[in-house]
């Protein structure tokens, strides 16, 4: 592997991050010494420690570099880490090689045959379906997934080292470092406007990414302003789902592709956006060379990604759905999914906005999408890496939601208020620490029975 084979020690700043930990597992499995820092213990850091990767939670900036040989050490950090973070400063001043996660992922992918999944939404689901299809049909695949796959209980699928599946992240333009053999673009909605400034610049950057492969190797959502192999649902796309029916919360459909039709396929994830992701993954797997006859069974056995329309509770009298949705388009997708699966059923939406900048950019869109639900509980904005912005609060957002049944809620009151709510179906959405609250709510209801 060009540039990485002489490295003995990989040190991660932000090792508990979903993309970072996948890399940490990857290097650990290849016999390298791996260690790192994260802000707080979590399920991910515990799973790293379980395999013998040392993780600490205190900035050791004054002495962190004492153990490592600069010539044989690579320091990997995530953009979420502040530039003046002690350990990062110390490594930089001591002459260590320091790279961003995306750059290292690019180095691995570019040294292999690679399939890259890009798009503002759908990256994680599409890449996990694709990784699963390749693994189940016998390909020597390593897939780096931006979420915990339910089939593998991991963010890394490892069945060999012949082909790499990688999420091509548009955040800070990092996906332009990739040189994929096959690629896709699932969507190009405005996001990360704090980086790009406007939607046009973001669109042009996606086009630049699309140009990294020939149009015969680029899968695109039908209707995007690009040339490539089109993917769609019940439309004229080259790769599409036709004759769709929903039975017991699963899609049954015929998969039309340029060489024919595979009939009677089944996909167990709700939501048309997810079905579209599945069609993209099927097309990419076919173009890679997966045996067509094995694909239906492989798709049927795919069971999703944690926190992507994950059923935490699914009983006759209560349904609790957990989703990572943090953008208006994703909230719309959750609403579409839940109404398709539970027609004519009132739904309570619990939402934690993520980032002040995103809330400011999409305030009216958030309000519009949340207004579709029967009732809305809003938590405070999760700041992540940001400082507050004047006039951008959950209270302002609440005022714009066109619903009589809506309220601000604290984490302390969450369980009690959800328990009191009349709706049978509850969806909890957000990319912040609402994931922790969802587990608490789930445990409360499990023990209540």
Q: Is 351 helix (H, G, I), strand (E, B) or coil?
A: strand
140-151: burial string, b at 16+ Cβ within 10 Å, e else: ebbbbbbbbbbb
78 among annotated binding-site residues: no
Q: Is 83 helix (H, G, I), strand (E, B) or coil?
A: coil
d(CA 22, CA 25): 5
* Beta carbons of 129 and 143 less than 8 angstroms apart: no
- The token pair at 384 is 């992540």
* Beta carbons of 124 and 274 less than 8 angstroms apart: no
Burial of 64 (0-12, 13-18, 19+ CB in 10 A): buried
- Collect all residues with Cβ–Cβ distance below 8 Å to 297 and sequence separation of at least 6: 136
119 among annotated binding-site residues: yes
Degrees (nearest 5) of the Cα angle 156, 162, 163? 60
**250-257/310-314 β-pairing:** unpaired
Closest by CA position to 76, among listed 109, 29, 27, 114? 27
Handedness of CA 289, 132, 129, 35 (dihedral sign): negative
Neighbours of 18 (CB within 10 A): 17
- The token pair at 170 is 């548009």
Neighbours of 415 (CB within 10 A): 16
339 among annotated binding-site residues: no
Neighbours of 342 (CB within 10 A): 16
Q: Is 62 helix (H, G, I), strand (E, B) or coil?
A: coil
* Beta carbons of 327 and 433 less than 8 angstroms apart: no
122 among annotated binding-site residues: yes
DSSP per position, 109-130: HHTSEEEEEE-SSSHHHHHHHH
- The token pair at 336 is 């579409």
Q: How many CA atoms lie within 13 A of 261 on its CB side?
A: 9
293 among annotated binding-site residues: no
124 among annotated binding-site residues: yes
Element (H, E) at 144: strand 141-149
* Beta carbons of 22 and 83 less than 8 angstroms apart: no
Q: Is 328 helix (H, G, I), strand (E, B) or coil?
A: helix
Binding positions are 119-125
Binding positions for ATP are 119-125
């Amino acid at each position: 592997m060009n540039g990485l084979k002489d490295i003995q020690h990989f040190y991660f700043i932000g090792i508990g991050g979903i993309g970072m930990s996948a890399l940490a597992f990857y290097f650990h499995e290849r016999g390298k010494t791996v260690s790192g820092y994260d802000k707080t213990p979590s399920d991910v850091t515990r799973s790293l420690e379980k395999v013998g990767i040392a993780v600490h939670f205190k900035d050791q900036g004054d002495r962190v570099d004492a153990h490592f040989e600069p010539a044989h050490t690579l320091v990997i950090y995530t953009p979420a880490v502040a530039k003046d973070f002690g350990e990062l400063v110390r490594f930089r001043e001591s002459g260590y090689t320091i790279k961003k996660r995306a750059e290292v992922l690019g180095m691995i992918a570019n040294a292999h045959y690679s399939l890259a999944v890009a798009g503002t939404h759908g990256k994680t689901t599409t890449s996990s379906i694709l990784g699963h299809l390749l693994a189940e049909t016998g390909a020597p695949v390593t897939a780096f997934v931006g979420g915990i796959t339910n089939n593998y209980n991991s963010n890394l699928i490892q069945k060999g080292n012949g082909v790499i599946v990688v999420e091509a992240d548009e955040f800070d333009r990092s996906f332009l470092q990739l040189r994929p053999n096959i690629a896709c673009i699932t969507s190009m909605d405005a996001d990360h406007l704090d980086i790009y400034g406007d939607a046009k610049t973001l669109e042009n950057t996606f086009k630049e990414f699309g140009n990294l492969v020939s149009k015969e190797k680029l899968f695109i959502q039908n209707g995007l302003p690009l040339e490539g192999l089109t993917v769609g649902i019940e439309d004229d796309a080259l790769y599409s789902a036709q004759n769709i029916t929903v039975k017991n919360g699963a899609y049954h459909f015929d998969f039309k592709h340029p060489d024919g039709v595979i009939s009677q396929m089944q996909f167990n994830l709700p939501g048309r956006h997810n079905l579209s992701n599945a069609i993209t993954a099927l097309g990419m797997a076919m173009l890679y060379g997966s045996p067509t006859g094995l694909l239906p069974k492989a798709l049927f056995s795919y069971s999703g990604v944690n926190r992507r329309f994950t059923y935490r509770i699914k009983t006759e009298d209560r349904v609790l759905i957990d989703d990572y949705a943090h953008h208006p388009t994703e909230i719309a997708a959750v609403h579409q999914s839940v109404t398709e699966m539970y027609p004519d059923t009132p739904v309570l939406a619990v939402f934690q906005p993520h980032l002040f900048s995103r809330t400011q950019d999409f305030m009216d869109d958030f309000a519009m999408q949340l207004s579709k639900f029967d009732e809305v509980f809003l938590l405070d904005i999760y700041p992540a890496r940001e400082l507050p912005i004047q006039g951008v609060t959950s209270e302002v957002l609440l005022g714009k939601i066109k619903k009589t049944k809506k309220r601000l809620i604290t984490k302390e009151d969450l369980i009690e208020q959800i328990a009191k709510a009349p709706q049978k179906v509850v969806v909890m959405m957000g990319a912040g620490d609402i994931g922790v609250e969802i587990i608490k709510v789930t445990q409360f209801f499990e023990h209540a029975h």
